[in-house]
Chains A and B, each alone.
Chain A
Amino acid sequence: MKALAARRHDRRAPALLLLLALLLVGAVYAVVAPSSAQAATKTATADDIAAGEKLFQANCSTCHGPSAAGTDSAPSLIGVGAAAVDFQVGTGRMPMQMSGPQAQAKPVQFTDEQIAQLAAYVASLGAGPSIPTSEMVDPALGDSASGMALFRTNCAMCHNAIGAGGALSQGKFAPNLWGTTPTHLYEAMLTGPQSMPVFNDANLTPEEKRDIIAFIDEQGNGSPGGLDLGSLGPVSEGLWAWVVGLGLLLGLSVWIGAKSS
């Protein structure tokens, strides 16, 4: 005991303890904290960043500037993070096809590897949100009832009650969400592309984002009542009531009326 007690009073002990405590905190943080900055940055090598820079200079710098600091026609990309690049390029919105009210989704212009390289390059310019892991966006792990409530409060006023899309001002619009991948949904919430507000982790926690993804995942797969008519609400129902219902009934009336006379 005495030897132990004596050793405890070794003058190097405080420094050692501090080191251990720091390691413990770091380890706990690594386990508990939402694992951002993983997929892209972890695997991103200097080669990726270099390749990404080349792609950037060839395809993006015309508008975003040679140092990605932005120009009059496009915003700075310093600090937007890998998530923004993965969303914009991964859904085909960037490179932008033409100027207009908003950048529209179109066939994707790059391979997954090239997108990852571009994302690594932009992420290397400044700290920003990174691409979520597959676990963070897995609809099976989310609670769709909680997602429904969150979606109604935060998303439905633009994207329609179940994400069929809706109009915004001056020709802009909130797109239909049914075909968007869970990762892109997550990134859109995190980075707020174009007219969309940013839902950071203080607004909607990562779990809540996953709940919303779980809710969207259940939509757009048809309706229990039959054809969903676009899930656009009473206007499309009224249109089909006139076209199909009144169309058939008037046609049959003419037919019955013509039979005798």
Chain B
Amino acid sequence: MIENVDPSMVSWARAQFALTAMYHWIFVPLTLGITWIIAFYHTIYVKTGSEEWKNLTKFWMKLFGINFAIGVATGIIMEFEFGTNWSNYSWMVGDIFGAPLAIEGIAAFFLEATFFAVMFFGWNRVSKRFHLFSTWMVAVGSNLSAVWILVANAWMQHPVGQAFNPDTARFEMHNFSDVVFNPVAVSKFTHTTSASMLFASLFILSISSWYLLKGRHVLMAKRSIVVAAIFGLLASGFVGFTGDEAAYEDAQHQPMKLAAFEGLYQGEKNAGLVAFGLINSSKKVNDDQDPFHFEIRIPGILSMLANRKFGSFVPGINDLVYGNEEQGIMGAAEKMEKGKIAIAQLDAYKKFKKAGDEEGAAAALSIFDQNRDYLGYGFLNTPEEAVPPVALSFNAFHIMVVLGTIFPLVFLAFLYFSYKDTLQEQKWLLGGGVIMFFLGLIAHQAGWVVAEVGRQPWAIQDLLPVTVARSNLTAGTVQTTFFMFLVLFTILLIAEVSIMLKQISIGPEEN
């Protein structure tokens, strides 16, 4: 089966999913974060009854509305791609993966969409309290949507609560609670949504900085900045905390991802974290090139990050590919042997079943069960295929971390000068503030790359490589839809940016 895979089809299908996800990921984090800030503004309006706060709330609500519509459009296309380009994946894990997506659609998205209408059109039509309740429910609903999407994503990274049914060759859900409370899901949800809070705060900071530079809507901009900077500052701290938790989960369940984003080829005790480094992108796992052109490491920190213990051993890419007996690490080569046994025994089981040989089927199934944790490795051709793109993972991770360190300092600076009441005079800070939104966008996209490129070659960690998860399509078919989506998404993005810039230029209603 695997010999017939058209690798370029898989590459194009991956590229198409990456394209859709990256466009989707421009709009969604803004939605997830800004709904909370709008709820804050709306609450202040209801408590004070001030028309200025009402106008401020309506302004940010309008920008959120423009963004929301395009986020939905790209999200729906992404879900369809599971069926079009990844139909083997959908067939094999649909019973598990489909459940959170369905709950997301039925419960969370409907909740969000219903109250979204009340939030937008409810001014002077419903009571102030119900209107405010609707705004909060939009925030709750959009973040609940994220819960279920991230539960589904986390299951791909750490497939718990499932069992493989040899009769249907499908993975089936055995414990819903394990799937929902998967530690990777909780860590992903808290990290992703708090990063979205930070991103939305940067969005408000950028636009408000521009108003202050232009001397327009000064009071509104100052008020918006204070709320966004405090929310962004607290969210930044929490992003760092949950990022540490995410790295710990990676070390426990996806050690190859951790080794890749740290460029760690040779595992070591008391492993250091690369604070700054230029990675050698031509380095291969089985050559003797130096992994870095230049690097500065902080000793011991990677061991602490990975295992919560200084001095502990952190496996490198070589250990995970070729094994390390001393540390009791089984290499991908040995896992491949076990995976191939699992595949052969599954085939034998089906043949015995078809022939009515129950004893033979039971014996084959018993051997399959002993090796099924390595099922996916049986589809790999070489142990080196288990290694994700190291340079891309490393660069994305370090860009995310560096930017994530800068943002709280920016929020602090804005709060300090707001406190001193000299913010409007700090042209350098306001100029920097305008570009913060774009830096936030880069950090967000980099985070997505770390999470999804770092788990390659797996669609489902250790169980299903992307080469098997794909649909039986030609590369040309996927190329055609790739370029169609590229054009469509770009038009949508241009439309969104144009409408948004126009609204920003108009600004909030004045009393």
Q: Do A and B bind each other?
A: no
* Residues of A that sit less than 8 Å from B by CB: none
* Residues of B that sit less than 8 Å from A by CB: none
